[in-house]
Structure 1
């Protein structure tokens, strides 16, 4: 399958020789070079899929209804798995193992540069947004566990910028410097445990908040009993927010091929199984957390789910713990997103050359410094990269896989995969335009 995987990746450490339909590492000095296990790869992919977007899915369910949300989530997750299937199919047919190389195969060097720039912009935007969230939320998450006498305006742990710099240097930088994405399987499994913890807390706290919601001095909101009935289908102007939220919640395509390269005995079938397991488990966690979050607050669920618990369960230890767990999960996702960004930058600057610790380290420091500066000095980075994300995310998730398959594959247009590729492109354009309109509309409303 792949004769020289190291040429396309950041030092995979082995070469691959075709053996029938399956591929196996070459023996090196009598010992077999072993790659990442299937479960380690699955945890890495799940970590790439799940992030802070899980906090907004209950809001999406409130605006689409339980059945409507479930159908949309199933469709989006299936399309994400199918687009990855097309990418892996092309890689297997053309002896290619990177997203950038697929762009080059389809449209020569301009295609390679386009894909690399898209990945770089998308992942820098995602990392900056995650660090911005950490800067904003970490002080409150830490001080929530402390008494009022311990906290104060002069305390260093109440300064989001200081905390952000510290966690970047202590946690993100060492993990980002690792040469292989497979090494992040341990931290990714920890991040997935944090997401499971969040889901369990959402389920448990469903019975801690009564409906109708209680009225007190800090809450000027009440629900009548009829509003405690869950809606199966909902169609409103806010329903447009649901599809982009779901689509971006399953974006992991920039990490798929690097994970594929380092998978032990990499084959399309093996990587497709890893993908299916990752997307299925993410789907289950998304659906359960969204459902019980919605059944807790119904139509008054906040756009960020944890804000509702802050209102009705102030200083609840379990809620404060889950907030900290989500922040840690987001923190551990940053090094994983950094890997494809660094790989794209090295491809743009050096081409397909052998691994070099010097350039590896310089590119790592450059990207993290840029991301850190953006998170610290841009006032509202989520809006800035919202427009970029609505275009680059859609391209990587839907448009590019479909477009590359139609260009590279020799199958007739009426074949099943070609028809699916066309459908992916159409869906991508619709979701991209819809996302952009939603963001612009929210800006106009905010003026």
Structure 2
């Protein structure tokens, strides 16, 4: 007879199979399982986790600090701590019920089919909007680097920003066809390296290229606190990807260490970039710090060009849960490979259309952070954990902590969403 630890390890690597010609059931007794372990190593998962948490957020973090003032850095650390804690709660939910394989499964297990559907819709919209933000970011930075370049397609004039959005989408498209997280981890490694290069380039521009660190900034800007909190929450919006990363690991008991390393690294880099950017540009910090940089300096060009790597490295990873959700409904009835190719391509095309229609990076990401990221990264994990674990039945310290985190997430969602919507409407 196997010992208890070995039994748990065997059970935790079981994954659901789709039945030929039908959809998979949601209840444990309606699903067949097979012992197939994930193939991602500890290092693979770290790279994927770092890539999911870092990237676009590091460009907007100086703008967030400029919006809220120096004291808002405290809020950054509070949100980092809260989201790390809720990441651990997701792991606990999956350990309690090994039949949970995805983020929507957590909602389904906690609140039934309706809960799973609500969670799934929220998650997919969030990841979809984040992917759209990548394309807006690319258009902004490419047009800043080449402001006089225009595009003509069959005699139709396309402005520089819109043309670059389309061009970058074509470049990213092949990465969206990859479906192996082990392979994506190598692309993710380039995204992590890009974060380090951008931070180093910004420091070089301030220290050696004449920009300087002379701005004092404000201690606190109460009017900008909601926007700052929303953008801070956006920086930690990778929770829907965590179950995918967890199930992809060979040794899933190491996932807590992966989370700690990822959150520690990203919080340090976010803090450094926020401080450097605010000291360099003060209240004039743009929604993307690369838009503030003088493009004639080599360090600035390095930062801008490196920024262009981020969407290529992150796009496929962030949309993987969306693709999986859609494929689970359609691929059993059609050719699997052809269906997957079509789904991934159509998702890319639709994000291009949205990016061209709503080119407001700062306000759009602030809305995503408040309405969606705060919900999926703070509120939902807490509520689902309370329900799945059953600790709500007995009052204690853990219930108080989880309740406080839930309340904080709700406040961020309500206030931040209102402010972000007002900003977007005023700039339409």
Q: Secondary structure at the match of 2:350?
A: helix
Aligned counterpart in structure 2 of residue 75 of structure 1, from 78, 91, 98 = 78
CA distance in 2, matches of 1:34, 1:123: 23
Report the equivalent of 1:174: 174
Aligned counterpart in structure 2 of residue 262 of structure 1, from 242, 248, 267 = 248
Report the equivalent of 2:324: 343
User: How far apart are 1:210 and its partner, in Å?
Assistant: 5.7
> What does 1:239-254 align with in structure 2 at a 5 Å threshold?
239-254=225-240
Structure 1 residues 101 and 77, CA gap change in structure 2 (3 angstroms): same
Structure 1 residues 444 and 337, CA gap change in structure 2 (3 angstroms): closer
CA distance in 1, matches of 2:372, 2:38: 34
Is 1:316 the counterpart of 2:297? The answer is yes
Name stretches of at least 5 consecutive residues in structure 1 with no aligned partner: 10-24, 145-150, 214-226
Residue by residue over 1:334-364, the C-alpha shift from the partner in whole angstroms, topping out at 9 and shown as x without a partner, is 11111011122234x2599999434433322
CA distance in 1, matches of 2:211, 2:341: 54
Does structure 2 conserve the Cα–Cα contact (< 8 Å) formed by 1:181 and 1:339?
no
Aligned counterpart in structure 2 of residue 370 of structure 1, from 345, 350, 353 = 350
CA distance in 1, matches of 2:424, 2:323: 32
Report the equivalent of 2:134: 130
> What does 1:95-134 align with in structure 2 at a 5 Å threshold?
95=98, 96-134=100-138
| Count of residue pairs the alignment pairs up | 398
User: How far apart are 1:99 and its partner, in Å?
Assistant: 1.1
Q: Secondary structure at the match of 2:286?
A: coil
Report the equivalent of 1:13: none
Does structure 1 conserve the Cα–Cα contact (< 8 Å) formed by 2:60 and 2:231?
yes
User: How far apart are 1:410 and its partner, in Å?
Assistant: 2.1
User: How far apart are 1:319 and its partner, in Å?
Assistant: 0.1
TM normalised by structure 2 equals 0.82
Name stretches of at least 5 consecutive residues in structure 2 with no aligned partner: 1-7, 19-33
Aligned counterpart in structure 2 of residue 6 of structure 1, from 11, 15, 39 = 15
Q: Secondary structure at the match of 2:252?
A: coil
User: How far apart are 1:387 and its partner, in Å?
Assistant: 4.3
CA distance in 2, matches of 1:136, 1:211: 21
Structure 1 residues 359 and 384, CA gap change in structure 2 (3 angstroms): same
TM normalised by structure 1 equals 0.79
Residue by residue over 1:226-268, the C-alpha shift from the partner in whole angstroms, topping out at 9 and shown as x without a partner, is x84465x32431233211111110111011110111112212x
Structure 1 residues 445 and 413, CA gap change in structure 2 (3 angstroms): farther
Report the equivalent of 2:5: none
User: How far apart are 1:306 and its partner, in Å?
Assistant: 2.3
Q: Secondary structure at the match of 2:293?
A: helix
Structure 1 residues 384 and 230, CA gap change in structure 2 (3 angstroms): closer
Report the equivalent of 2:26: none
Report the equivalent of 2:3: none
Is 1:88 the counterpart of 2:97? The answer is no
User: How far apart are 1:4 and its partner, in Å?
Assistant: 6.0
Report the equivalent of 2:63: 59
CA distance in 2, matches of 1:212, 1:324: 21
